[in-house]
A and B are shown apart, each in its own frame.
Chain A
Amino acid sequence: MKIVLNDVPYEFTGNTLEDLLNELGKSQQGIAIAINQQVVPKSLWCATELNEQSQVFIFESIAGG
């Protein structure tokens, strides 16, 4: 399915947010996800299914003051 990931179209072969992170090869540590401007709690990542045209933003923690 086609989703929009961090403002860029992305072809996704899985179902859930957890699948997406696995596909991207990203650790779950230090990151947060919002779908359609709503923060999705980490506990729901494995159960949250993505739909065609879902607007997904993934954020990561980085160094800062």
Chain B
Amino acid sequence: MSSLLIAGHEFHSRLFTGTGKYASADAMMDSLTASESELVTLSLRRMDLKNHTDNILQPLQQQGIKLLPNTSGARTAKEAVFAAELAREALETHWVKLEIHPDPRYLMPDGMETLLAAEELIKKGFVVMPYVHADPVLCKRLEEVGCQCVMPLGSPIGSNMGLASRPFLEIIIEQSRVPVIIDAGIGAPSDASLAMELGADAVLVNTAMAVAKRPAQMGKAFRLAVEAGRMAYESGLGAKRIQAQATSPLTDFLGALS
């Protein structure tokens, strides 16, 4: 299986993961370790001055996993740029998962604000990974302004509905000259496998791993699915046809018995 290059960084795993929704930091680490993911997302919030928060940074860094802060909570380009600058200080990385969703019900990404923020962040030297709708036009625009990859959604965040946007994802994959990472809605390893078979460069999975009864085992299941899907894609899948095409030679060797 080939490795994946984003902004000069080589990834051996094509499974990117989120750190949200796990029951504990230990469950998260077990799951991420089993998944062999090399890139995980984190969020920012105003510090809780009264309560102690579990330190999840240390185990992630010890494991050598690359951190990808997101701009979740931003509703406008201006807020997202501010969040990215805070994240750069907090996590000492100029990589950012740009996500702007003004509507808390469906968490639909705002494409216009995302494009504006991407342009500004790229000028400021960030590696921008934009989370967007499966919109082929927008993905091209983001590529043109210098995004190092695009992250179109399969279906709404946390919905487990899989690749509801499949026809549009296929167009994006076909057109894109930067890596395409399918993010959001991937609910089962089969969804991840399908994304890879379609030619996606990577997938980002969070909820499906975090809320599983056995998060570590699910992490492994996703790892295997992503590897299987990518290997199948690189091996070259056969074309689909309506008619049967025999795999055994159809000779008339039993003809004499009738």
Report the separation of the CA atoms of residues A64 and B19 in the bound assembly, to the nearest whole angstrom: 5
Interface 1/0s, chain A 1-23, versus B by CB < 8 A?
Answer: 00001111000000000000000
Q: Within the complex, what minimum Cβ distance (angstroms) separates B69 from chain A?
A: 7
Contact at A59–B57, with CB atoms within 8 Å? no
What is the CB-to-nearest-CB distance from B215 to chain A, in angstroms, rounded to a whole number? 13
Say yes or no: A31-B20 contact (C-beta < 8 A), given A59-B86, A63-B56: no
Interface residues on B, range: 35 or more
A60 interface residue (CB < 8 Å to B): yes
Say yes or no for B157: interface residue by CB 8 A criterion.
yes
Question: Which residues of chain B are near A29, meaning CB under 8 Å?
Answer: 55, 57-58
Asked if B213 CB lies within 8 Å of chain A CBs, one says no
Evaluate contact between A39 and B86: CB separation under 8 angstroms: yes
Query: Do A32 and B89 touch (CB < 8 A)?
Result: yes
Complex CA gap A60/B18 in Å reads 17
Q: A60 vs B48: C-alpha distance in the bound complex, in angstroms?
A: 8
Cα A33 to Cα B41 in complex, Å, equals 20
CA of A37 to CA of B42 in the docked complex: distance in angstroms? 22
Q: Are B90 and A65 in contact (CB under 8 A)?
A: no
A41, A42, A60: which contacts B47 (Cβ < 8 A)? A60
Let me know if B53 is at the binding interface, CB within 8 A.
yes
Query: Across the interface, do A32 and B87 meet the contact criterion of CB distance under 8 Å?
Result: yes
Among B20, B44, B88, B207, the residue within 8 A (CB) of A60 is: B44
Could you show 26 A-B contacts with beta carbons less than 8 Å apart? A6-B49, A7-B46, A29-B58, A30-B90, A30-B91, A32-B89, A32-B90, A33-B89, A37-B82, A39-B86, A39-B89, A58-B46, A58-B49, A59-B44, A60-B48, A61-B42, A61-B87, A62-B45, A63-B21, A63-B28, A64-B20, A64-B41, A64-B72, A65-B19, A65-B157, A65-B158
